[in-house]
Chains A and B, each alone.
Chain A
Amino acid sequence: MVDIAFGPEPGKRPDPASTGEVYLDMVRRKRMYGGILGVLFVALLVSGWMLADHRNAGGFWNGLPQTLDFPAEVLSEAWANRANLPGLLWTYIPSLIETLNIAAVATLIGALMAAGLSLLATRGLARWPRLIPVFRRTMDALRAVPEIVIALVLIFVIGGGPVPAVIAIALHTGGALGKLFSEVAENADLKPVEGLSSVGATWGQKMWLGVIPQVAPNWVSYALLRLEINVRASAILGFVGEGGIGHDLKLAMQWGQGRYDEVVAIFLLLFLAIVAIDRVSDSYRHRLVKGTL
């Protein structure tokens, strides 16, 4: 450490007596490293943007003035047909419910999967301690596969509709929540578990009665956060694949002019749903973590 801080040569080390100078020297060195890193970072960022701009079909400066053209076109048409809007909102409520159902079912199944996997992958709690690495790698793999990959392959096999999206999101959720759940479970107090084993409880009973009550608030809080993410994912999957309000949005967009009032209705529904779910889950999570529930 001394070598790193004061240079390699013992003779060239700054005099420890003049502390002010030593301090300034260190600060200067630190700032220089920081500066070099900063310059590199900025260079990377700028060249990256230039490359991306070059690879894009339309350039940035050409596109910038047009950014508002499309929203303006959509909004003006929707404004002209604003009388239709309440009716359209009503029409798309079932699709919205489907999208929300996809997200909720997927979060539920994923969370149940994650609960099992995380207990099996936590040191001190695992049923088979030797298999901990297997379960960890399983969670890593589940987390790494993007939803869209599973969804598109499943659409080929089991046809369109909400189920491929549910399975895809649930698998990904299982991996992502599994990691978070197992971090929470690692910090659980083992005393209840020991007490339960002293009275001859099975592994399932130890987990259900000894661990789950401790970790439940944090687990539920993470699951709610995941629900927010999954609502968005479910809308996007609908757009790319099939099912839910994302699919309706794609159809309306492909139609283009003449159905922009529908586009606005779907935008509105999606926006309101996302904001509402964020709000509810946010306040609920606050209460859960603060323990007033």
Chain B
Amino acid sequence: MTSAVLSPALVSGVTRSFARKRRIAMAVPAMILAYLIYAAVSFDIAGLMQRARFDNAAILLSDFWSHKTHVTRDNRSGALTVAIEGESKGTYPPGMLPDWVTVSGDVTTIDLGTGHVVTYDGAGARFVVPGYGTIDIRPVGGKPVLTAPEPIPDWISVAENKVSVKTPAGRFSYSRSKVETFRYEPGWELWFFTLDSPLYGKSFAELAALAVSSNRIDEARSNLALMASEFWTNRMWRHGDVAWAIFETILMAFLGTMTGALVALPLSFLAARNFMPLGPLRFATRRVFDFIRGVDGLIWTIILSRAFGPGPMTGAIAIAITDTGSFGKMFSEALENIDEKQVDGIRSTGANSFQRARFGVLPQITPVLLSQVLYYLESNTRSATVIGAIVGGGIGLLLTQAILTQKDWEEVAYYMVLIVLMVMAMDSLSGWLRRRLIKGDGA
């Protein structure tokens, strides 16, 4: 090896270019940091931290995996209601109570577990908290009066017309009109069967035994059919409606993607340089694609939902139009990159232009085309969720409604899990199809 001659000019050149590289290596992170700081200021992060409601986050997280049962006594009429999540569809029918509530005469005893016991009776209400003592509340002149061991801890809040107690076992509140106890339990309540179903409260073993037994609960149909229909029409969770919504979302994505691709395919020939010798027409088609992509799915969705009303078809058309623009651009690029030799070969046999396209061009671009269409199918499943929230169809609508009511967070969690599973399923389906159709494994 000959040793390189280090002329002073080379040394200074190398040093300079190193110094430049190093400056760039410092400048890029510094610019990113500066931009992020500007963004933090313009987004008002400091104000946001003050406005953030972390107690909401706590409610949300606990609601995701647990549910609460309200035990309410109307202080005027003395009527007792036990309702899951305080909803009418989760109310225990008369004569049916959870096993931790006992009623004898006008005395109601609620066992919250770990020694926490709440008693409602004619004189008022009492809450026994182990390690603290008894919280006793009696109405005097219509207002609740508290008697409890001094000093009053901060988990008991006393206002003029309301006393509330928060313990890890449950919450309790007493006001003029009613006394209420919330008991928290893990799990999603009534997920299989609601309280009014004859199957409520049965264990898996009992259900399995019922499924194979010939003693019918409902004379008209078999036990298995009864179970399926009770589950499907569950009023609390509406499994049937949710399944339909998921199907609608996938339908929107499928119809939109496929229709977009079918419309874009012939148009893309008009925009490809090697198929459309007429410059102005080519230019016009390309600008149409650009326009469609530029207007964006959001705006198409708004315009279309005015004409077609809410529903899955509006969403499907919106996806189809947006995708026509993207597919048109991608397909015409694929067309420009084809190998002309095959087309020449077909031409030499005297084929007309349609035959040349069918036998010379399509086989070449099919893999590119299919792979893009399948990729879009997967990504459009996600978009269909968002578009569904705008046009009013599919799982996106259910999700936004559940979030906007800010109450049924366990349903939100359920929909989120379903959406993630749906997208993952579509992801693996499109990956599987891509492998089968393009690489041709076994197909």
Contacts and interface: CB of A to CB of B under 8 A. Distances in A.
Contacts of A253: 302
A49 B403 contact: no
B74 interface: no
B84 interface: no
Given A146-B386, A236-B386, A153 B35 contact: no
Interface residues of A, number: 60
B296 A235 contact: yes
A70 B386 contact: no
A98 B42 contact: yes
A156 B406 contact: yes
A162 B47 CA distance: 12
A156 B55 CA distance: 11
Interface in A107-161: 108-109, 140-141, 143-149, 152-153, 156-159, 161
Interface in B26-71: 32, 35-36, 39, 42-45, 48, 51-54, 56-57, 60
Contacts of A58: 307-309, 311
- Classify the secondary structure of A's interface with B: helix
Contact of B412 (A70, A144, A153, A232): A153
B299 interface: yes
B308 A63 contact: yes
Interface stretch (B105-113, B209-217, B254-262, B271-279): B254-262
Interface stretch (A80-88, A185-193, A195-203, A270-278): A270-278
A45 B43 contact: no
A232 B299 CA distance: 10
B298 A235 contact: yes
Interface string B377-401: 0000010011001101100100110
Contact of B298 (A105, A108, A236): A236
A17 interface: no
Interface string A243-280: 00010010001000000000000010011001100100
B423 A163 contact: no
Given A56-B311, A58-B308, A101-B42, A148 B53 contact: no
B316 interface: yes
B293 interface: yes
A293 interface: no
Given A159-B48, A163-B48, A275-B294, A48 B299 contact: no
A67 B43 CA distance: 38
Contacts of A162: 43
B420 interface: yes
Interface string A215-242: 0000000000000000010011001100
A2 B336 CA distance: 37
Contacts of A271: 294-296, 299
A158 B420 CA distance: 23
B420 A232 contact: no
A46 to B, nearest CB: 10
Interface string A39-75: 0010011001101110111111001101101110000
B311 A52 contact: yes
A69 B258 CA distance: 27
Contact of A240 (B45, B293, B311, B386): B386
A207 interface: no
A153 to B, nearest CB: 7
A49 B51 contact: no
Contact of A144 (B56, B251, B403, B424): B424
Contact of A148 (B252, B303, B385): B385
Given A51-B251, A105-B39, A145 B416 contact: yes
A163 B45 contact: yes
A278 B294 contact: yes
B288 to A, nearest CB: 13
Given A60-B313, A157-B56, A101 B258 contact: no
A159 to B, nearest CB: 5
A96 interface: no
Given A49-B316, A239-B390, A157 B52 contact: yes
Contacts of B52: 157-159
Most chain B CB within a 10 A radius of its CB, from A52, A232, A246: A52
Interface string B395-424: 010011001001000001000100110011
Contacts of B53: 157-159
Given A55-B312, A105-B36, A156-B403, A161 B303 contact: no
A158 B298 CA distance: 25
B35 A45 contact: no
B252 A70 contact: no
Residue of B259, B290, B306 most packed against chain A (CB within 10 A): B306
A274 B296 contact: yes
Contacts of B396: 148
Interface string A144-184: 11111100110011110111001000000000000000000
B323 interface: no
Contacts of A249: 298, 302
A57 B311 contact: yes
Interface string B10-33: 000000000000000000000010
B314 interface: yes
A57 B427 CA distance: 30
Nearest to A74: B303
Given A163-B48, A240-B386, A278 B293 contact: yes
A63 B393 CA distance: 17
Contact of A236 (B56, B252, B297): B297
Given A55-B313, A56-B312, A278-B293, A157 B35 contact: no
A58 B54 CA distance: 43
A53 B313 contact: yes
A240 B420 contact: no
Given A56-B310, A157-B52, A158-B52, 18 more contacts: A45-B255, A49-B255, A49-B313, A52-B252, A52-B311, A55-B313, A64-B307, A98-B42, A104-B35, A108-B32, A109-B36, A145-B416, A145-B423, A156-B60, A157-B57, A161-B43, A232-B298, A278-B294
Q: Which 10 A-B pairs have the closest CB atoms?
A: A56-B311, A57-B309, A58-B309, A63-B308, A70-B306, A56-B313, A52-B313, A158-B52, A144-B423, A66-B307
23 contacts: A45-B255, A52-B255, A52-B316, A56-B309, A56-B393, A63-B307, A64-B307, A69-B306, A70-B307, A98-B42, A109-B36, A146-B423, A148-B385, A153-B403, A156-B56, A157-B52, A157-B56, A159-B52, A166-B43, A232-B297, A235-B298, A271-B295, A271-B296
